[in-house]
Amino acid sequence: MKFPRLAAIAAVFAVSVTQANAEPIRIGEINSYTRLPAFTEPYKKGWQMALEEINAKGGVHGEKLEVISRDDAGKPGNAVKIAEELVKREKVALLTGTFFSHIGLAVSDYAKQNKVLFVAAEPLTDALIWSKGNDYTFRLRPSTYMQAAMLAAEAAKTDAVKWATVAPNYAYGKDAVAAFKQVLKKLKPSVEFVDEQWPALFKIDAGVTVRALEAAKPDGIYNVTFGPDLGAMVREGTVRGLYENRTVVSLLTGEPEYLEPLKGEAPKGWIVTGYPWYAIDTPEHNAFKAAYEKRWGETLKMGSLVGYNTMLSIAAVLEKAKSTDTDKMIAAMKGLKVATPQGEIVYRAADHQATMGSWVGRTDVVDGGGQMVDWRYIDGAEVLPTAEEAKAMRPTN
């Protein structure tokens, strides 16, 4: 009469062995780690921490996740070759990552041609989900348009009428300027744009750029430079007094990756988007902050949050799809809800853009370092076009 019990035990043991021997779900991750480590290294730590947490809980439907990560060195051609290797040789279920917009677009096109899901973490160009959007690409971070719209709303409240812009001369910079102009002109028709500067990415001649902006005599300056280009613009412009008695609106400058290296040289009073991790006080964010600092022994960066949210999104779509079949994952991505340290985000079915928002505030120097003050969080859903408008901007095939 003990045989049924033994049979039950054997069945449970067999299931356990099967799960233990199950192949992990492989995820292909591509990013510009050596090209922009200030952002991508914290980003990697973010997704690694999320991956550890997911697998520690048993993975997704009993299957562990495995990430195969590659460095594209900031070159679109490299990224496409890597994507091919990950899909064809490593047999990954989906692709994720990328930072620069032109690389994100290249991988997105590969995903479309080869019918593989691509969860774009960081590339901000609007083309990724609108003019060049496709069925296989979804984007996490708030787009260029979304963040530019947030800043334009603040710029419209100022007295500045004559504006000049400075942005890197590639897809992200062009989108950022176009979106800012579009929204600001709509909110404040009296504004005019008197100058545009387009330095090459990470090759800015700050002296020449600052002198050109000075010559235009704008009331306000819209800055889109980041990384070392931002540091050069801050220092050269400060020395020449470019920012005195002028409104400065600056995309991404409040992110710790770019603000913290400026230390006491950080500008004061700029209107920025960023990430005031040190001042956000919610249970979800406090738990994330504590776990990250314990795991890595360092403070949060914007990349940390993006990487963490990216892996949470991947786990959520696999959970919902109950499959690694591409069509089923794409269906699950549409309308997917993900609980994150900044609250719930949703991947819109209309344009595959997540509603992850951003923080808008002003820069200041606090305790000898740059910080965001007087900030507020803006939900991405508040600044996105309607579903109907978004669909009209996407290709019809």
DSSP string across 74-139: T-HHHHHHHHHHHHHTS--SEEEE--SHHHHHHHHHHHHHHT--EEE-S---GGGTTTT--TTEEE
Residues 287 and 247 placed together within one structural domain of the fold: no
Q: How much is the pLDDT for 171?
A: 87
Same domain, 258 and 194: yes
pLDDT, residue 397, reads 63
When divided into structural domains, the chain yields a total of 2
- pTM, 2 dp: 0.92
Does residue 286 lie in a domain region?
yes
Whether residue 192 is predicted with pLDDT greater than 80 in this model: the reply is: yes
In a domain, 341, yes or no: yes
Label residue 21 by pLDDT band (50, 70, 90). Answer: low
> Tens digits of per-residue pLDDT, 328-366?
999 999 999 999 999 999 999 999 999 999 999 999 999
What pLDDT is attached to residue 3? 43
Percent of the chain with pLDDT over 70: 94
Residues above pLDDT 90, as percent of the chain:
92
Q: Do the beta carbons of residue 347 and residue 138 sit within 8 Å?
A: yes
What is the DSSP track for 260-323?
A: GGGGGG--SS-EEEE--TTT---HHHHHHHHHHHHHHSS---HHHHHHHHHHHHHHHHHHHHSS
| 90 CA to centre of own chain | 26
Domain span including residue 304:
7-143+281-357
- Residue 396, in any domain of the structure: no
Distance, CA of 174 to CA of 11 (rounded, Å): 61
297 and 259 share a domain?
A: no
Task: Indicate if 302 and 224 belong to the same structural domain.
Answer: no
Q: What is the pLDDT of residues 23-45, one digit of tens each?
A: 999 999 999 999 989 899 999 99
Is the pLDDT at 81 greater than 90, yes or no? yes
> How much is the mean pLDDT over the chain?
94
Q: What is the pLDDT of residue 9?
A: 45
For residues 275 and 293, membership in a common domain is answered with: no
Within a domain: residue 392? no
- pLDDT value, residue 22: 75
Task: Verify that 257 and 301 share a domain, yes or no.
Answer: no
Residues 271-304: tens digit of each pLDDT: 999 999 999 999 999 999 999 999 999 999 999 9
Residue 142 is classified by DSSP as P
pLDDT at residue number 33: 96
CATH of the domain at 271: 3.40.50.2300
Whole-number pLDDT of residue 8: 45
With bands split at pLDDT 50, 70 and 90, how would you rate the model's confidence at 1?
Answer: very low
Q: Are residues 45 and 182 in the same domain?
A: no
Judge whether residue 5 has pLDDT over 60: no
